Every structure is written in structure tokens, then in C-alpha cells.
Amino acid sequence: MRLPRQDLSSKTVVICRGCGRESFLISQAFELCLDCLRSDFGRALPYIEKAHSEARKPFDLPEKPPRAEGGKRCNLCVNECLIPQGGKSYCGLRINREGRLIGAGAEKGNVSWYYDPLPTNCVADWVCPGGTGVGYPQFSYRDGPEYGYKNLAVFYQACSFDCLFCQNWHYRLSASQEARVSASLLADQVDEKTSCICYFGGDPTPQLPHALRASRLALERNKGRILRICWESNGSMHPSLLRKAAELSLRSGGCIKFDLKAWSEELNIALCGVTNKRTLQNFRFLAEYAKRRPSPPFLIASTLLIPGYIDKEEVSKIASFIASLDAEIPYSLLAFHPQFFMGDLPTTSGSLAYECLEAAKEAGLRNVRIGNLHLLRDY
């Protein structure tokens, strides 16, 4: 597998297969510009599917969510795989062995972890108890940033999406490995200086039963003290599992961070291989849930500003959607670092970032920021 050479100031010109336009803001991943993705998705789809196939084959992951007639169904995420005998799920975690799904579950997970001193570089650090002290003394140890405490960062080694720009794409190297970590062992990693657990990855979605069990055990073993449960996700999980995750975060002072990668379904499929309909439905559900605990913020949104693909128009539509639910929901616009199959693109320009910031504010949002400011370049 050859990935594009990463260059933060890349200006490699690519010709769009659709319209012939030349630009360094067109990725070699599928050689299509944003205008063509928007205006003629049907024509673009074969190139999109080829790009995702090439991104998955080296890791022995199914090119598409399996739809085998008579296959074993997995309902954990939006893909709702129908896995053939001997085949595996889209995320790579589960195999259909004689009508039984073998692999990661509530008891054992494919997961790693590390400790992150607080305040940390988290999508929510500017509004959460660990970064600001909001919710003190009920949900924070300090009336300000929780210096001296730490976050247990839990990395799940699988994902329900296939983002061509994945910032943590290396998880694919171990997505199909045997799940070995018990929920109990993971819960044991919480010590007296751990004030929050954040599940991310990859994505926690394909292994939510494991994360839920570990969370309950950790809270039970640390009764009477602050321990926030937080999630960072693409939001594609089954609604029943999301409800359970939301309850844990709500009562512990934690938050749920959804990465709203695009507004249009077509663009989400192009960039991530999967529909975003479930993500938007789940976000709407959480916005209602959030009214039960206005502070500290329960629901946070973010969008990665991919040069050439996520523009002011896309951000405006995402922000309008969020504002229609609650204008107070925090929204982070994250500068892009070239990675994986879109490593040939440059970082986000300052002009794009601030255009998107203004668009989000004009849409009615009151809490918007630009993240990863150090990555911004002008070109």
C-alpha cells in the first residue's frame, strides 16, 4: 500500500476526472473536485467506491458492509452487516462462524489506552470540566483546569466508517486481531488521579457494549468521587446503545462529542464510505437529551475542515442544523492535517477557517471556535 506523501504545504496539482479542472485542492484519492461530487454524484460513485476499496484491501477489511442473503446480522451500527458464513463485519471485528458472531463483545475488546494529563488536547477541552472547571464542585475537582489530574484515553481499534482522511488510520493494522482486554481490566485502569474516561479510536461504536460495561464497572468501583464518562464518535451507533451511553455521561458530568464530518449524505459517502443519516438522527436525539443538564455542556460537535472538500457552504448547513436544535451547543472547527489517502492535500488555510467560523456564527451558533490553530497555513 502506497500512501500519498504528506506535505503540510502540498500544492500537488490534480486534474478532476469529472470536469477537467486542475487544482492542488483535489485529492488523488478519487481525483474528483467538490463541485463534481455535489453536482453529479452518480457519475462520481464508481471512483468513490474504487477509492474506498483500495483503502480497505491492504487491511483485509470488507470493501462494503456485507449484505449476504441469510447472513448473520449485526445491529451495533448504521451498517447493519449481514455477514456470510466465514465472512467478517465491515469493521473487521466479528466473524460469522456457523451462525454465531465470534469476536469483540461486551466481555472482551480490541482496545488500548493511555493517560493524558489534564487539561488535554480534547475536542471539548474549552467547555468541559477537565479543561475549565465548569460544574465545580459536583463534576470537577478544581474551580478551573484540573491540573494534577488525568484522563484515561481509551482507543478502540475499529471503526464503522472508512474515512479517507483518517487521522488515526493505524488502528486498521490491528482491527482484525483477537479481542483480549476484559471490561474489568479496563475499568481497573482508573486510579485516584483519573477524573475522566474518554472513549475514541477508530471509534467506540463497534465496541460500545464493551465500553458500556467498562464504564459501569469503573463508576461502581469509584463511587462517591468524580469520574466523568465521555465519548468521541462518528455517531453511527444503534440508538438503544446511544441512550445507554448518554445516561452514563449525563449523570457523571461527562459529554458526548460527535464528529459531523459533512452535511450532505453524498459527501459523507465520498469521504467516509458510509451514510451520515444515522449520525444526524442521533445528534438530534442527543440535543433533546442535553436539555436535562445544560451545564457542563453535554453535547459537543466538531467538523474537520478538509481543504477542497469541506467549505463554507457545508459548514453553514451543519451549523444551521445544530442551531435549529440548540444555539448553545459548542461547535469546534478543526484544522486539517494531511493523513492516509488524503495525505496529498495541504493543511487548512486560515482564510477557509475564518470563513467557516463566520458562517457558523451567522447560522446562529453562539459557541464556536477554531481548533488546531497551529496547523493553519495561507496559500
Contact criterion met (CB below 8 Å) for 336 and 309: no
Residues 6+ apart with CB under 8 A from 82: 66, 67, 68, 69, 70, 71, 72, 73
| Exposure on the CB side of residue 313, measured as CA atoms within 13 A | 7
CA angle 327, 296, 190 (to 5 degrees): 135
Q: Dump the DSSP string for 93-117.
A: -EEEETTEEEE--SSEE-EEEEEEE
| CATH architecture of the domain with range 108-375 | Alpha-Beta Barrel (3.20)
Contact criterion met (CB below 8 Å) for 354 and 368: no
| Cα-based distances in Å from 129 to 198, 229, 236, 246, 301 | 13, 12, 26, 17, 17
Coil, strand, or helix at residue 7? coil
Residue indicated by cell numbers 452535511: 263
Sort 60 into a burial class: Cβ within 10 Å, 0-12 / 13-18 / 19+: exposed
pLDDT of 174 reads 83
The runs of H, that is alpha helices, within 223-334 are 239-252, 265-272, 277-289, 312-325
pLDDT of 9 reads 61
Coil, strand, or helix at residue 64? coil
Q: What is the pLDDT of residues 208-265, one digit of tens each?
A: 999 999 999 999 999 999 999 999 999 999 999 999 999 999 999 999 999 999 999 9
The runs of H, that is alpha helices, within 7-76 are 34-39, 41-56
- What's the predicted TM-score (pTM) here? 0.95
Smallest CA-to-CA distance from 277 within 128, 77, 28 is with: 77
Coil, strand, or helix at residue 154? strand
Smallest CA-to-CA distance from 72 within 84, 80, 60, 64 is with: 84
CB burial string 197-236: b at 16+ within 10 A, e below: bbbbbbbbbbbbbbbbbbbebbbeebeeebbbbbbbbbbb
Domain ranges of the chain: 108-375
Residue indicated by cell numbers 459537543: 300
Residues of the chain with pLDDT under 50: none
Coil, strand, or helix at residue 279? helix
pLDDT of 262 reads 99
How far apart CA 166 and CA 159 sit, in angstroms, is 10
pLDDT of 175 reads 76
Q: What is the pLDDT of residues 254-304, one digit of tens each?
A: 999 999 999 999 999 999 999 999 999 999 999 999 999 999 999 999 999
